[in-house]
Amino acid sequence: MDTLTVLITGASSGIGEACAEVFARNGHKLILWARRIDRLNSFVQRASSATGQRDNILVQSVDVRDRANVQQAINSWLKQGNAEHIDVLINNAGLSRGLAPFHEGSYEDWDEMIDTNIKGLINVSREIIPMMVTGGGGTVVNIASIAGRQAYRGGNVYSTTKAAVKMLSDSLQIDLNGTGVRVCNVDPGLVETEFSEVRFRGDKERAANVYKGYTPLSAMDVADVVYFVATRPRHVAIQDVLITPTDQASVNIVNKH
């Protein structure tokens, strides 16, 4: 397999970090974006020890909500003499805040989710996809959520943002048809990461209860699927994936035992 250049947003933890691990393990070049540069640097140290290939990983502190910051990061990468092509874009940066019913919701929480989950993904995709089109191909993987397929109590605006990601993935598949660029929407179910801790603003006990009584997905379970999608032969496009724990039948039906 040819060496791929892979850009991952939200790479400092969870699914993003797991994706970075699986691509690094297989010898691919990584561009890792997150706001927590210290976490990215720690990953580089671990990956370098495991693979001995420190030069294959570039880390950049990027807030995907900030369009100028995104453009600056790309320009910085290009100025280092890199060819104007990224083979795989994994739009992973995203978050959820709260579980309040809509009529009691927080504008601050809503803005943060909309700006990150929708605008952030758009900002990054608009800058990277033209490189793929010019280069004759590439793979875009958008990490959405089962919550974008099914509504649930308290999910309101979060579900709306993830439904938007799914619709953008579908639209990109149409707009990019004939360019050689593939688009895959990945909808994970319950994955044990920092997701719930972020949603509940650091309440570790409440977050831990989300994953009790059954075996949730791990971040690596999702990363393995992303790697499979991104490494199919060029004539194979996997457009949509829903991945859940065996005990999860729908967004809010979980067999706890």
Give the burial class of 178: count Cβ atoms within 10 A of its Cβ; 0-12 exposed, 13-18 middle, 19 or more buried: exposed
Structure tokens at 233: 């032969």
In this structure, what DSSP letter does residue 153 have? Answer: T
Would you call 219 helix, strand, or coil by DSSP? helix
* CB-CB contact of 173 with 134 (8 Å): no
Contacts of 101 (CB under 8 A, 6+ apart): 153, 154, 156
Annotated catalytic residues are: 158
3-state percent helix, strand, coil for the chain, nearest multiple of 5: 45, 20, 35
Contacts of 248 (CB under 8 A, 6+ apart): 146, 189, 190, 214, 254, 255
Segment (H or E) for 49: helix 37-51
What is the chain's Cα-based Rg? 18
Would you call 184 helix, strand, or coil by DSSP? strand
DSSP 68-126: HHHHHHHHHHHHTT--S--SEEEE----------GGG--HHHHHHHIIIIIIIHHHHHH
